[in-house]
Structure 1
Amino acid sequence: MSTWTLPTTTGRPVAILGAGVLGRRIGLMCIAGGHDVHIRDPSTDQLSAADSYITTTLPTLTQPGITPGTLHTSTSISSAVSNAWLVIEAIPEVLPLKISTFAELANLAPKDCILASNSSSYKSSAMLDDVPASDRPRILNTHFFMPPALRVVELMTCGVTQAEIFPFLHAELTKLKMSPVVVKKESTGFLFNRIWAAIKRECLTVIADGVGAPEDIDGVWAQMFGGSDGPCKLMDQVGLDTVAHIEEHYVSERGFSPRALEFVKKEYVDQGKLGKKSEAGGLYPSTPSTATTTPSQTLYILDLGLTTLSAPMTSGRVLAGSTDGKSPLTP
C-alpha cells in the first residue's frame, strides 16, 4: 500500500516541462495566481519566447490581493523539478518521449510531488511503462486549453491515482481562477476533446474535399455559435503539427479514417505550415507584420563655408541627409 501524502506548496514552485504554446500558457496562469514557475525546455529560443509571452501577458491577468510569482527558465530537467510540488509535462504528443520523461521525473522530482501530463489525447496510464509502481499513485492528466480565456482544466486518473489528489488540485486550480472538471473514468480524449477531435477531423476533411475553405468554416461557426475563433483558427493557434500528432493517435487507437491526418500532414505540416507559430502560416496564410516604419524626414543643413578660409563668403552650400542617419549628408 502506498504511503504517499499530499505535498506542501509553500515556498515550492510549479515546474512546467515544455515552453511551447500550452506550456507557457500554463506557466502564465500559475504565475498570475501567485506561484513561482520553473519552465524547462531544451530550446533556448522556446524559453525566450515563453519569457516574452508571460512578461507581456501577465499584466492583463493580475488579480487583486495576489502578488504574481516569478518565472525561472532552464534547459535542465533536474534543476527545474528539484523542489517542485507539481510538475506538468507539456512536451510534444509523442508517446515514447512521454514514457521516458515520466520515468525520469519519478527519479528526479521530490517524492511527494504530483506528476501530471497535459496531453490532450494520451491517457497518463499509457506513460507509466518505466515508472515504479510506488510512484504511479501521484500521476494523472491535467489538461489545460488555449487560448487563456478558456479556464477549463480536465483532471483524469491514470487508473491508480491517489483519490486525495483530485479535491486537492481542484482547490488549488480554483485559486488560479481556473474551472477544473474531474473526468469520471479514463478516456482517450477526456470529455471535450472527444467531441473536439471529431470537429477538427471533419473540418480538415471538408477542406481536403474542396467543399469549403477555412474562412467559410469559421464564418459559419461564428454565425451558429458566436465568438471570433472558429475551429480552423483554433487549430492554427494550437499548431498543426500538434493537431497531426493527436489525430495520429486517434487513428491508431480508435480506428478512424486516416484521410484528415494524411491531408494535414502532406499539405501543411510537411511544408512547414504549422499555424500561427510559423512564418509559412497554416490553414490561414501568415499575417504580415502590421508594424510600420515611419519614413525618415529629410534634414537640410546650411554649411556656411567658414572652414574654407580662402573664400568664406562664396563657398557656402546646402547639405541634405536623413534624420535617421542612414543617408549621409550630401550637397
Structure 2
Amino acid sequence: MFRAILSAKTGYLALFICVLFFLSGCIPAGSANTDFFLPSVPKQILPKNTSPVTSVKVNLPRAEQNQKTQIEAVEATQPKIAPTSLPTASPIPSQGTTNRDSSQPIVVISSSPPSVAPAAGGNGVFPSPIPQATLPPPGLHIITGVFIQGQNIMGASAPAALHANYLGKVIQLSIQGYFYLGAAQPEDVDVYLDNDIETNTLSVSNNRIEASFNTANIPDLYLVGSSHTLTLDLPGQTLKVEIRVGAPDVTVPLAPQIQQIEVVRDEFDEVEYLQIKGTNLMYNPNFAQVKVNQEVVSIIQAGLEENEQEQEEFIMLIDPPQNSELTKNTKYSFSYTTPFGVAFQEFVAN
C-alpha cells in the first residue's frame, strides 16, 4: 500500500514539474512576479505632423503593370476634346430688331419635338416643342412655290409643269410665299410670264397671290423646258423665279409671219424705233432674233395690244440699226428668227 501511495505522489510531482516548465517559457525576464501574461499587438508609431495613410497600393503583376503604363502614356498624348452639344437653330429676328441684310438667302427651319423611347417600366419624356421659324425678316419678299391645281411648277426639277394650248386654255396660278402686302389690292400686283405675258391678278394676301391667263396665241409656251420665268411685280419690289413648261396639249404650226413694218420717227424726223406687226411672234426677246440689213438689233418689247377697232394684235418694237440711217423711200431687208422658223421681209422706210 505504501508503494501505491508513493507511485501516486511521484505522478503528481511529475505533472507539477511539467506545468512549471511550460509556464517558465512564457514568462519574460524580470516578470517572475507576473501570474499570467497575454501577448498584445504593438501600437503603430507615426512621425509627427503626419496623418494615417488611407490609400492602399496594389502591386500588379508585371505584365498588367506594363500594360497600364502603356495605356497611360497613350492617353497623355491624346488632345483634350471639350464636350459638344447638338446644334440649335437661331431664331429669326422679330420685327424691329433685325439688322440682317435682305440680299442674303433665308433658310426656313421647321422643327418638330423629338420622341424619346421610355425606359422599361417607365414613362417617356418628351421635350418642349422647338419654336417653328416660318417667316423671313419683315420687308423681305420671297416666293416659295408656283402651283397649278395643287401641283408645283417652280424650278427646273419641279414635279409638275404648265401645259399650254395655242387654241385657247385658261390656267390659274397660285403663287405662295411671304409678301407683306398689307392693304394692297389685286390691281397693285402684276404677274407676268416670260417678261411680257400678262395675267389677270385675282386676289392677293400676305401668303398667296392668285392669277389667271389664257394660253391662246402664245408660242413661247410651246418651248418645252425650264427656261421660262414668272415675274411678280409687287409694290416696291419685283421677284422672278423659274418655272417648268411641259408638252402642249395640241400641236399647231408656229412659223412666224410678218404683216407690217413701220418706221416711227420723232418730231425732228429722227428714227425712234421700228414697229412690226405679225403672228406667231415671241413674247420673250430671248426666244427670237431680229436683223435689219443683216445687222442684229435689239427687241424693245413685244406683246398684244388693242387697235382702233378694239381688236388685239401682236406688236413688236425694235431698235433701229446703227449702220443704216433708214433713209425715206429706201428699201431694206428684215429677218425674224424663232425656234419655229424664219420670216424674211423687205420694206421701204417711210
More helix per residue? 1
Task: Decide: shared fold, TM above 0.5.
Answer: no
More strand per residue? 2
Given the two structures, how large is their TM-score scaled by the length of structure 1? Answer: 0.22
Given the two structures, how large is their TM-score scaled by the length of structure 2? Answer: 0.21
